[in-house]
Structure 1
Amino acid sequence: MNILKFGGSSVANAQNIAQCISIIKNKKQNNSVAVIVSAFGGVTDMLLQSAKHASNKETDYQQLLQQIENRHIEVVKSLIPATGQSAVLSHVKRELNQLETLLDGCYLLGELSERTKDLIMSFGEVLSSYIISEVLKAQEDNCSLADSRELIKTNSHFSKAVVNFEISNLLIQHYFDKNKAAITILPGFIAQSEDGHVTTLGRGGSDYTAAIIAAALDVPSLEIWTDVNGIYTANPKLVKQAVPIEHITFEEAMELSHFGAKVLYPPTIQPILNKDITLHIKNTFDPEAHGSIINNHFKAKSSNSIRGISNIDNITLVTLEGSGMVGVAGFSKRLFEVISKENISVIFITQASSEHSICLGIAESDAKKAKKAIDNEFNFEIKQQKIKPAILENDLSIIAVVGENMKNHQGLSGKMFSTLGRNNINIRAIAQGASERNISAVIDRKDVKKALNTLHETFFDDNTVQLNLYVMGVGNVGDKFLEQIASQKKYLKDHLRMNVRVIGIANSRKMHFDEDGIDLYQRKEILEAGEHLDAKAFIQNIKKYNLRNSIFVDNTASDVVSASYAEYLAHNIAVVTCNKVACSSAYSNYKELKDISRQYNAPFLFETNVGAGLPIIDTLKNLIASGDRVHKIQAVLSGSLNFIFNNFNEHTSFYDVVKQAQAEGYTEPDPKIDLSGIDVKRKMVILIRESGYEMEIEDIENHSFLPQECLDTESVDAFFESLRTHASHFNELYAKAASQGDRLKFVASFENEKANVGLQFIPKDHPFYNLEGKDNIVLFYTDRYVDQPLLIKGAGAGADVTASGIFADVIRIGNK
């Protein structure tokens, strides 16, 4: 015999029921079939809600009842021919009239006993099983309807009755020995006490019904049909990379189901566990999919000892602590006894080895009741100040990593906790079962999605790292950066195991977010249709998404945006920036950002602050980290100024060259920032600070080559006009350099803890003389590089190279 169970989502409506019937008919071709069905999807909740409303004297229970009636009548009219509907509708109406009488009674009495609640909730399965059996009969199938209440006997513990297997097994076997129907439909979830009252089997009760019948008939396998392709490596609603587990042991399945895998509930497994009955989890809406097979007859092909990651939400930690507990026997016994008396299930336990505290994880709904009971039990010790009143911590979740072979692999807990730590996920408590099949940890509920994805990435995704980017500034440099991300996305995934997604983008007017990732090839149109930019809303959205490996990319030159870096870093959001304002601001601010970055394990990278895409800062960091010490720096740090002076000659006006540099994107939007030396001072102070020296930007002398009138201009247009006015000044500078055989270079120098920037006449034998185009050059004189400096040279301006430098910083974060 084939035994199938269909859940509420599988029988939610006429279309879904038709799909179930197709599966049933296919299964009966080779064998008879027993089919256990749940209530139509959502009906059980509606029944419970209507009962509560009625007992609270709220008349809207009648509207809920009407909705329940409409749902069932709609299915009858959709699936049963008109000629056969009358008798079925009459039967359904009679059942619903009985339900209405019960609800009216609850309303009049103003109460709802557990016994009455079970009776009301039973109507969901009673109606669904009847209607589905009638649909099959209407299609001329040899079908019978069995009443689970006549076959499964329990005690009178209403809402979660305990099955009397000795009696139930005999009744089930006797019924199926006599029953010759090809298809037998049975309601799940419901049973009957030995004194004749309707009982229910609790959470997962329909699965439990199926397992009870399968065990009683000693069949080789049981199929549970649901709306997913089996048990997944993690909740697929939260982890999109999760995949079905094709084969899993009963013990692993029980661990995963205990820790929140909603496809299966632990009691379901128990009746079939000792009978060695294989359990199949199948998808009603994708019947050809493999699904999950649960038994103990397989050896995992994969070397991965982790089988799945699961979670339970709405957890409260209850902590009992105090010096009076140390060395005193009986505290744990009393604690668990009082929790048991309140019928509170303990999900998680951990105790300090010092015996100073013991911590329990329970459902949040039981928290207040638990605290009251515990404080009453330990009232004397609390008054004596030997222990503290019970401490409650709410808004928590438990995550669990599960696998049968975990005990044979070292370092898994370290890998788990370091993975969470890198993403700034705080662990409140830890427990590991003696069987070593799971490691569980309590974390803040808001971090669950990030934790599950991070752990799944570590244990299942071949170490593919997902980077989630939020890009502020999509103009010249920013657009090139997004273009590079789009074109290299496949390469990064295939060769570097990085999945780079852009979740948010913004310019000075608009912003747009997409948690699934923005289509970068449509970025301009998407952003244009976005919402108005709100800097506070931008960061709030990033916090709300709380995605792993979040990176804020600043492609602006805004001091307002740079002022937000601390907030990003303090929320474990990495910052990558070509904006020099923050790192060249007050030394205290620079140091604070560095400290916050270390404290919250959030990378703060700004390679493009100096030399665009050149690896200047990274090289300098490596020098310092290896114990070298910088004594002297000489550099040409402005690609724009180098471009200008390399192209300025007796045939070209200074004004025209600066205009060309601006048009080609080599200068800041306001070229005065470059020409005044401010930009070079910013770059130099960053290099000095990264070399280990404390210096303010005001400490760097600036020997400006611009006339004061140029410096005093208040707009870009006025600045350019001043360059025309003072053309003779710039021509004289060029003529003087040319007469000496020198070239003009704007040079930054640091030595003996003093620094200056300014225009210099560079002779032919100097390393800077042949610096062409927009190139930068830096010479580092250190303990190790004394006679011949360490030289870094290359293109130091331009949108493409700056964007590639930002890209390189993003990759550095992914490689951590």
Structure 2
Amino acid sequence: MKILKFGGTSVANARNILLAENILRKESSQSRIVVVVSALHSVTDNLIKAAEHASVKDEHYIPIIKSLEEKHLDLVKELIPVSAQSSWLSFVKKHFNDIEDIYNGIFVLGELTDKIRDRITSYGEFLSSNIIAARLQYEGLDCVWMNSAEQIRTDSNFTHAKVDFEVTENNIKNFAAKHPNQIIIAPGFIAKDQNGNATTLGRGGSDYTAAIIAAALSAEELQIWTDVSGMMTADPRLAYHAKPIPEISYHEAMELSHFGAKVLYPPSIQPVMAKNIDLKIKNTFDPDAPGTVVSHSLKNSMDENREAAVGVSNMSHIALLTLEGSGMVGIPGTSARLFQCLSHEKINVILITQGSSEHSITVAVDEKEVYHAEQAVNSSFADDIKLQRTAPVKIETGLSIVALVGENMKNRSGISAKMFGCLGNNGINIRAIAQGSSERNISIVISEKDTKKAVNVLHEEFFESEIKQVHLYLCGTGNVGSKLVEQIFEQNAYLRENNLINLRIAGLSNSRKMLFSDQGISENDFDNWSEKGVPASIQGFAEEIISRNLRNSVFIDITASQEVPEIYERLLKRSINIVACNKIAASSDFETYKTLKNTARNHSCRFYFETNVGAGLPVIGTINDLIKSGDKITSIQAVLSGTLNFVFNNYDGSRPFSEVVAQAQKEGFTEPDPRLDLTGTDVARKILILAREAGYPLQFSDIENQSFLPEECLQGSVEDFYQKLTEYEDHFKKLVDDAQKHGKILKYTAEFKDGKAKVGLQHVAPDSDLFHLYGKDNIVIFKTLRYSEQPLVVKGAGAGAEVTASGVFADIIRSV
């Protein structure tokens, strides 16, 4: 024999009931079955809602009851043949007359007791099961209706009645023996006490009814038919890539169910677990899907090939209640008093954690009950609080519990480290932790706003290890930004296949517009993305990134803006990685630079700015590797401006200096204002950054800048600048001629030695490493304790949108 239970969505309307009927036909052709059904979808909630209106003398209960009556009458008309409808329409009307009488009584008395609540809510399952049984009978199936309320005996703890299993099992066995029909239809949720009063089985009561019947009849299996294809690795409303779990143990199912997996409720598992009856969770709307098997055969399974975790579960609207005080240390019975007072007030404790010092005990409760719990605990410990042995209880609200569950986590090292590591790397602060000795559940309490992020981070880490989803927020979509986007789209397939990384552009901003998409801005949408954007502000961009709170987020600054770096610290404090092409932050006041570096380290995120020096050349990375390996940099000699190198490689006096500078700007080698390059300001920033990364606390004012530009060239606009360059052509021609007289060429160099740095135009001889440097190439020559005789040289293209974008791209990959 098999037991099948259909939930509220599975019997929501006539169409869904017909789908369930097809399943019953198939199952009953293979085995005798008992079918347990819930009330029609939302009926129980509306019965309670109407009762609450009536209890406060609000006549809005009347249209609710009328609407429910029409819903059931319409169901009869759709399911029952016209020739037989009259009696069943009368059946529905009769019972709704009884319901109205009860509600009128509630309205007159202004009182709604748990006993009355059970009476009215029992009608939902009673009516749905009778109508479905009638439908099957008129379709010619061998079907009989069983009143679960007459078979299941409970105590008088209304709304959460406790089952008398001995009496109940005998009743169910006797009914099944006397009614050998192929199909037995029974209402879920409802029962009666020894005095014949209606009782209900509480949350998940229909599942519980099905499990009770399955255990009583020693069924072959219990099937729970719902609107999802089994238990999922996470809530699919939060985790887009959640997938059904093929097979799971009883204990794992109970853990997932306790912490929010709504497919099952823990009490419903107990009766079948005790009898080693397999439980299947199936989808009414996709009956061919395999679903999930909850199996006793996995009870003690420790298969090394099985994944350590089976699912991530979450529970929202949680509050923490903490009792602490030095007077608790070493005093027996403190915990007992705390739990006793909560139990007395019928407050359910969801999670418990206590430090070994015994100085504090923290429990998690439903947020709706926390203030009631606070009063109860403070009252129970009033004398201790008065004598300052304990402090008044502290409460925290707006929290969630997220649990990682798996039978195979037991004795598997590194699970906790992996869990806390990925959460920490995404800036998710853990307020409390609980792990039982069974090691099959690690539960954490976090801020409610971090729930979706935490579930996705854990799901990705434990169930989607093949692909890591990275969310990119790009500020600056000019030459370099556009090239970077092109490279991301071109390379993403390779990264997915070879690096198990999927890059998603989740946000774009320029000086005018910004656009966001959690699912990613597509390549087709990039060309006209600003048309769909909203007015931009850098603070608004940061706020949106933080509020979206997506896992593995990277902010990319490809601007020269003074304003953009102002949001860096705020983002780093939320564990959002930063990749900066912008030099402002790393070359700003030394304390600001150190603060950003320390903030990144303290919040387990990355602050990378390789392209600040040498575009795509691995200059900063080389310094970092040298320092980490214990080496010390003693000097740096470099040509760090692709712009200036291009200019002086192409200027020989045969054409105007201004024309060569304009060519450099046109080809994308200069900053938007070329004076930043030609004054040496950009080079000074670069050598400053290199000195700082080498461990020297220099300020920008410490850099000696030997400028070759006349002061008048720096006044006015960019157009004025070009005009002045023309006027001072003789000055620039003389610089070239003086170098050529001595068989040398001009290079704008940067030097760092003995803790001091300078930049300026120099005459370079043919035997110098700096001489053979062409086009826009850069070179950096390091001397260190280990590279003292033969220096370490990094050389290559140091300017250009494409190579700069590739350097940013490399930093992005390093950051994740």
Q: TM-score range by the shorter chain?
A: over 0.9
What is the CA deviation profile of residues 671-701 of structure 1, one whole-angstrom value per residue up to 9, with x for unaligned ones?
A: 2211221111111111111111112212212
Q: Secondary structure in 1 aligned to 2:474?
A: strand
| Aligned partner letter, 1:262 | K
* Match of residue 725 from structure 1: 727
What is the CA deviation profile of residues 227-271 of structure 1, one whole-angstrom value per residue up to 9, with x for unaligned ones?
A: 112112222221223222111111111122112221111111111
| Aligned partner letter, 1:791 | V
What is the CA deviation profile of residues 510-531 of structure 1, one whole-angstrom value per residue up to 9, with x for unaligned ones?
A: 1111122222332233332122
* Match of residue 530 from structure 2: 527
What is the CA deviation profile of residues 148-174 of structure 1, one whole-angstrom value per residue up to 9, with x for unaligned ones?
A: 112211111111111111121122112
Contact 2:424 2:603 in 1 (8 A): no
What is the CA deviation profile of residues 183-215 of structure 1, one whole-angstrom value per residue up to 9, with x for unaligned ones?
A: 332211111122111111111111001111111
1:799 corresponds to which of 793, 798, 801: 801
Using the TM superposition, name which of 41-50 and 475-484 deviates more: 41-50
| Aligned partner letter, 2:808 | I
Instruction: Give yes or no for the alignment of 1:491 onto 2:491.
Output: no
What is the CA deviation profile of residues 305-331 of structure 1, one whole-angstrom value per residue up to 9, with x for unaligned ones?
A: 222222222222222221212222221
Pairwise CA distance, 1:413: 2.2
Q: Secondary structure in 2 aligned to 1:710?
A: helix
Contact 2:173 2:217 in 1 (8 A): yes
Change (3 A) 1:23 1:527: farther
* Match of residue 211 from structure 1: 211
Give 1:362-381 correspondences, 5 Å limit. Answer: 362-381=365-384
Pairwise CA distance, 1:181: 3.4
Q: Counterparts of 2:784 and 2:76 in 1: how far apart (Å)?
A: 87
| Aligned partner letter, 1:483 | E
What is the CA deviation profile of residues 320-352 of structure 1, one whole-angstrom value per residue up to 9, with x for unaligned ones?
A: 221212222221222221111111111112222
Unaligned runs of 5+ residues in structure 1 are: none
Using the TM superposition, name which of 592-601 and 272-281 deviates more: 592-601
Contact 1:468 1:502 in 2 (8 A): yes
Contact 1:704 1:759 in 2 (8 A): yes
* Match of residue 130 from structure 2: 130
Q: Secondary structure in 2 aligned to 1:225?
A: strand
1:783 corresponds to which of 766, 782, 785: 785
Contact 2:538 2:563 in 1 (8 A): no
* Match of residue 430 from structure 2: 427
* Match of residue 771 from structure 1: 773
| Aligned partner letter, 1:750 | F
Contact 2:32 2:182 in 1 (8 A): yes
* Match of residue 812 from structure 2: 810
* Match of residue 319 from structure 2: 316
* Match of residue 569 from structure 2: 566
Contact 1:674 1:680 in 2 (8 A): yes
Give 1:429-448 correspondences, 5 Å limit. Answer: 429-448=432-451
* Match of residue 643 from structure 2: 640
Q: Counterparts of 1:579 and 1:200 in 2: how far apart (Å)?
A: 65
| Aligned partner letter, 1:159 | T
Give 1:339-738 correspondences, 5 Å limit. Answer: 339-462=342-465, 464-713=467-716, 715-738=717-740
Q: Secondary structure in 2 aligned to 1:122?
A: helix
Change (3 A) 1:569 1:380: same
Pairwise CA distance, 1:138: 4.2
* Match of residue 12 from structure 1: 12
Give 1:176-187 correspondences, 5 Å limit. Answer: 176-187=176-187
Pairwise CA distance, 1:83: 4.9
Pairwise CA distance, 1:808: 0.8
Q: Secondary structure in 2 aligned to 1:168?
A: helix
Q: Secondary structure in 1 aligned to 2:596?
A: helix
* Match of residue 55 from structure 2: 55
Q: Counterparts of 1:535 and 1:85 in 2: how far apart (Å)?
A: 67
1:749 corresponds to which of 732, 748, 751: 751
Pairwise CA distance, 1:80: 4.3
What is the CA deviation profile of residues 583-606 of structure 1, one whole-angstrom value per residue up to 9, with x for unaligned ones?
A: 111112111111211221221111
Instruction: Give yes or no for the alignment of 1:96 onto 2:99.
Output: no
Pairwise CA distance, 1:775: 1.0
Q: Counterparts of 1:45 and 1:294 in 2: how far apart (Å)?
A: 29
Change (3 A) 1:18 1:510: farther
Unaligned runs of 5+ residues in structure 2 are: none
Instruction: Give yes or no for the alignment of 1:231 onto 2:231.
Output: yes
Using the TM superposition, name which of 453-462 and 35-44 deviates more: 453-462
* Match of residue 259 from structure 2: 259
Contact 1:154 1:161 in 2 (8 A): yes
Q: Counterparts of 1:13 and 1:744 in 2: how far apart (Å)?
A: 85
* Match of residue 275 from structure 1: 275
Q: Counterparts of 1:488 and 1:78 in 2: how far apart (Å)?
A: 56
Contact 2:539 2:567 in 1 (8 A): no
Q: Counterparts of 1:557 and 1:123 in 2: how far apart (Å)?
A: 69
Contact 2:154 2:199 in 1 (8 A): yes
* Match of residue 328 from structure 2: 325
Q: Counterparts of 2:656 and 2:26 in 1: how far apart (Å)?
A: 87
| Aligned partner letter, 1:781 | K
Change (3 A) 1:657 1:66: farther
| Aligned partner letter, 1:637 | L
| Aligned partner letter, 2:362 | C
Pairwise CA distance, 1:283: 1.2
Q: Counterparts of 1:500 and 1:324 in 2: how far apart (Å)?
A: 54
State percent identity of aligned pairs. Answer: 50
Contact 1:382 1:389 in 2 (8 A): yes
| Aligned partner letter, 2:770 | F
Q: Counterparts of 2:422 and 2:290 in 1: how far apart (Å)?
A: 31
Q: Secondary structure in 1 aligned to 2:511?
A: coil
Change (3 A) 1:402 1:751: same
Instruction: Give yes or no for the alignment of 1:156 onto 2:156.
Output: yes
Pairwise CA distance, 1:221: 0.3
| Aligned partner letter, 1:65 | I
Change (3 A) 1:70 1:514: farther
Pairwise CA distance, 1:72: 3.2
Contact 1:486 1:521 in 2 (8 A): no
Q: Secondary structure in 2 aligned to 1:556?
A: coil
Pairwise CA distance, 1:475: 1.8
Q: Secondary structure in 2 aligned to 1:232?
A: coil
TM-score between the two structures when normalised by the length of structure 1: 0.96
Using the TM superposition, name which of 523-532 and 194-203 deviates more: 523-532
Pairwise CA distance, 1:809: 0.9
Q: Counterparts of 1:306 and 1:609 in 2: how far apart (Å)?
A: 43
Q: Counterparts of 1:380 and 1:552 in 2: how far apart (Å)?
A: 54
Change (3 A) 1:334 1:239: same
Q: Counterparts of 1:301 and 1:80 in 2: how far apart (Å)?
A: 54
* Match of residue 200 from structure 2: 200
Pairwise CA distance, 1:301: 6.9
Q: Counterparts of 2:136 and 2:358 in 1: how far apart (Å)?
A: 62
Pairwise CA distance, 1:441: 2.1
| Aligned partner letter, 2:780 | V
Using the TM superposition, name which of 743-752 and 8-17 deviates more: 8-17
What is the CA deviation profile of residues 688-736 of structure 1, one whole-angstrom value per residue up to 9, with x for unaligned ones?
A: 11111112212212222222222112x2222223333333332333333
Q: Counterparts of 1:424 and 1:160 in 2: how far apart (Å)?
A: 40
Change (3 A) 1:722 1:107: farther
Change (3 A) 1:128 1:518: farther
Pairwise CA distance, 1:217: 1.2
Pairwise CA distance, 1:463: 6.0
Give 4+ residue runs of structure 1 displaced > 6 Å after superposition: none
Contact 2:306 2:408 in 1 (8 A): no
Using the TM superposition, name which of 541-550 and 148-157 deviates more: 541-550
Change (3 A) 1:11 1:525: farther
Residues matched between the structures, number: 813
Using the TM superposition, name which of 144-153 and 177-186 deviates more: 177-186
Pairwise CA distance, 1:82: 4.8
* Match of residue 287 from structure 1: 287
* Match of residue 64 from structure 2: 64
Pairwise CA distance, 1:553: 0.8
Q: Secondary structure in 2 aligned to 1:581?
A: coil
Q: Counterparts of 1:124 and 1:595 in 2: how far apart (Å)?
A: 61
| Aligned partner letter, 1:403 | G
